[in-house]
Chain A
Amino acid sequence: MSVFVWIETDNGAVVSSGWEALGAAQLIAGGLGVDATAIIFGAGSAALAAEAAKFGAAKAIVCEAEDLRGYRLEAYAALLSKLVSERKPSAVVSVATNRGRELLASAAADTNSGLITEAIDLRLEGDSIIATRPVYSGKVLMEMTANTPTTFLAVRGRSFAAPAGDAAGRPDVESVDPATVAAELRTEVEDLVAEIGGANLSDSAIIVSGGRGMASNPAAAPAGFGGEEANIWKAKHGFANTLQPLADVLGAAIGASRAAVDAGYIPYEHQVGQTGKVVSPDLYIACGISGAIQHQAGMRGSKIIVAINKDAEAPIFKLAHYGIIGDLYDVVPALTDALKRRLR
């Protein structure tokens, strides 16, 4: 018996949140008296198995077949389902990324197993795995368990620490064949487009976010830009020239409120909140964001929240650990300078 841990890879490298799944799995594997087995598919996975051993996996099952070079749901789900059916692990754990969620949902369906997504806490009661997960946008928490021999768990990113990666085990690596034939797959990945967004919001330890207040940029819009057009120009200019330098100093990702996205100040990929991304960085700096309840749903799990806003009555100040009441276009450049001096 074991706990399977799907280690997500991209271009032959483990994604930044990949080892967190192993950290979550080790929380329950010990109590169940079983080992963690890393499941790694795609080119270079045998090499990554050695890395998995350092992170505490007792065993690795890899599939290096050319067909599984890039992630494809059908091929990955068919193989994971086959391995689960044959070996009946106590649990299958992954991080709840887009791929992790769809892969586990599919394999759980194939094997008639219970699936719990977005788990933020795990514990054992006897041999039962009890997971805590947020519902109603985090306004309520629920405890769930699976009633099936295998529990599928997609754990929320940044909720479980990755192991230290200094274990001295040698990996016990088993190589398996794909469960599908490439020619029979009904999807074809045509192109992978790199995005302009920079750092990935879900993985970032620090996020600098802008809201409607971004339009109050004192920089003058070019002649001929009137009304809302001028506001969009000013806000975009502010994201690029005021928020980005702060993000660069901190190695942070850029977030935004729904108001800023809907007004056309920044693309949707940056939206944090109920209809955007749910994030839980160590530090969240909200600039010119009033803090509507829908925005709070996306960021209230942040460890430290800083609010910079002109309006002392803005709801964001009720949520923030630190606040500066002032114009973001004055405060952010001063903060960038102050941090630059200290981080140099």
Chain B
Amino acid sequence: MFRKILIANRGEIALRILRACRTLDVEAVVAYSEADRDSLPVQLADEAICIGPADARRSYLSAPAVISAAVVTGCDAVHPGYGFLSEDETFAEVVRAHDLTFIGPPPEVLDRFASKEGTRRLLGGYGLPTIPGSDGMLRDDEHALHEAERIGYPVLIKPSAGGGGKGMRMVRTPRELESAIKVCRSEARSAFGDDSLYLEKWLEDNRHVEVQVAVDRYGHGVHLGERDCSVQRRHQKILEEAPAPTLSPAARADLCERAIRAVVAAGYENVGTLEFLVDARSDFYFIEINCRIQVEHPVTEMLTGIDLVATQIRIAAGEPLGFSQADVQSRGHAIELRINAEDPANDFRPGAGVVEAYQAPGGPGIRMDSHLYPGYEVPPYYDSLLGKLIAWGPDRPTAIARGRAALDELVVDGLTTNVEIHKALLASETFLDGRMTTNLLDRIGSAAFLAAAARS
């Protein structure tokens, strides 16, 4: 096991990793930017070190700053959290070159799964169905038009280097394709420094279901069930739950078993998530793998009782997984609500400011992962996630009821949050019936959704 881990992230995930380190009896150093000097993980850390200014490019995204901090504080491993440098194989390589361990897949594994298109081909070869898509990257407009015609409209234009739904566009006609492709290229270039694009068939009314896996260095892997993340706004997840409400137990077992078989065969290592689109007939298509701990990991932790962050750290340290598929027992139902500093009434504009009052909810089955405290000033430089409210119950209706009660208990004063959209979701018939699809909120519009909830 590691002696000392540098936590190269911020907010709730920095806190979550710090807690995992404490339970593993490993020292932790929190690396922070000047904007996060007063943040809770910095205050709770045994040790903290300022690595740069507020601008993430010079702090959380600066490989030299992060690695230098790990070296001078005597760490032997770096935990990148999610976002920032968490899936950067070059960073992972430089970490290793400094005799440190990157907590995640080893660099060569990250490299193997770095290209989404390559990963689809790789895992497709190990038996995972993939969405019909373009043959490789789009060379030019003519190639794009030809491939779109072959796949059949509507199609989704996707950046190869993308993530989190950035730079994606759905088009229904050749004319739309031609104009959108220019926009996508320039967005992808500025967001990821790589303007490679590919096409995918657009599945109407699909659901987003993902499978959590954990594979140790010795090729021993388990799946930890699936999560349904269909409640999205502009490709950003806002609510996740497990088990997936509309999949039969047999369909879930089939999906999860095929996922773990494929990633073990392809040589994956550490925790990871395979994302699928599931259509109305419960046919599933593999879309991408996330080689990191995910925001919504607590949903799975609530069901299985397995600490995924601790598991991730143990695997990176070279320990065997220590449990088998039969040991992974899923119990009940869990829902995670992402509490964001954004205004649903104002096109979800992100906000910042001082938290005047904060009260986390409690009670049976409730877990609140948040870095807020009264008086904390939410800086404007980073993402808008304030915390995650997770509600567990022996069944879905109980989990939803507990989630509703917890939302009513939650107090975050001083900032505009998206709590109202969650209240509306947990009261909406579509959600209660488990009929949410990935495009539903965008199609009817969040404002209309809120208004409908207010009437009912």
A and B bind: no
Listed in ascending order, the chain B residues whose CB lies under 8 Å from chain A are none
